[in-house]
Structure 1
Amino acid sequence: MVNTGAASDRLRALGLDLPDIRSNPYYVHHRTVGSNIYISGQLPYKDGELLGQGTVGREVGLETAREFARHAALNCLAAAVQAVGDLDRVRIVQMLVFVASTPDFGEQSNVANAASELLIEVLGENGRNARTAIGVAGLPLNSPVEIQMVCTAL
């Protein structure tokens, strides 16, 4: 896949916009150290609402979990842009995808692939990253997915 043009144009071509992420009195959404940007864990919020709750493999199906992962990754991109001001200045270094799932689910990497696909569609090679996808017993607000990232500013 060859990506040309601005990352923000590719994002709009997908019918997406970077969301506004609300501040939190207990933590920051990003911390910049040198050219590194550490993104706090982001949940699948859209328009200020958590898209769903539950455990993947029980109340939440695979395709729904993949959509939640895309939204969480979009929120991570929004936090990165808050840090550097421009989507074209963002390179994803590492992504940690947490999936609240049943012990026998085993498809955490498939959920994470949806986030990876979005990042590559928008950022091209700057969206490819080192990645970990793990199943956990629970996440904040009973969210099915949470994503944390480390980025670098270009």
Structure 2
Amino acid sequence: MPHRKVGSSIHLSGQLPFKDGELLGQGVVGRDVELETAQELARHAALNCLAAAVQAVGDLDRVRIVQMLVFVASTPDFGEQSQVANAASELLIEVLGENGRHARTAIGVAGLPLNTPVEIQVICTAV
């Protein structure tokens, strides 16, 4: 299930950068994947979060993002996870305006499902 409602909060499952059923990238940021590519993948994962949120609340105009967790599969010396996450944050604010503003954590990890460079998890509410 792509989401779980708990009180007024909606917890979205981690979303990968899929488009039309195809994973858009694989590899590790800082080794196989450039920062700009990782940012584009983060935008796609954020769009998938919005799609899951719409499924949960029924209408994009009702979505308010509360928190976003961005997981970046990266080399130990890559320290720009926040720059990857910025691309997703900017997209959410661009699409939702004030309802897209959120708290955020960007985390570097050793690996992610399907060898994707980016996975995003969101907590939102319906307004």
TM-score higher than 0.5: yes
What is the aligned residue count?
Answer: 127
Q: Percent identity?
A: 86
Of structures 1 and 2, the larger Rg is shown by 1
Unaligned runs of 5+ in 2: none
Give distance in 2, aligned partners of 1:63 and 1:137.
19
Q: Is residue 2:116 matched to residue 1:140?
A: no
> 1:63: which partner in 2?
36
Q: Which runs of 4+ in 1 moved over 3 A?
A: none
Give distance in 1, aligned partners of 2:64 and 2:23.
26
Q: Is residue 2:85 matched to residue 1:85?
A: no
Give distance in 2, aligned partners of 1:36 and 1:134.
22
Amino acid at match of 2:20: D
TM-score normalised by the chain length of structure 2: 0.99
The structural deviation recorded for 1:91 is: 0.3
Give distance in 2, aligned partners of 1:91 and 1:122.
11
User: What is the root-mean-square deviation in Å for CA atoms of aligned residues?
Assistant: 0.5
**Aligned residue among 70, 84, 88 for 1:115:** 88
Structure showing greater relative contact order (alpha-carbon pairs closer than 8 Å, 6 or more residues apart): 2
Q: Is residue 2:4 matched to residue 1:31?
A: yes
Q: Is residue 2:83 matched to residue 1:97?
A: no
TM-score normalised by the chain length of structure 1: 0.82
Unaligned runs of 5+ in 1: 1-27
Give distance in 2, aligned partners of 1:106 and 1:128.
23
Higher share of residues assigned strand: 2
Name the SS of the counterpart of 1:76 in structure 2: helix
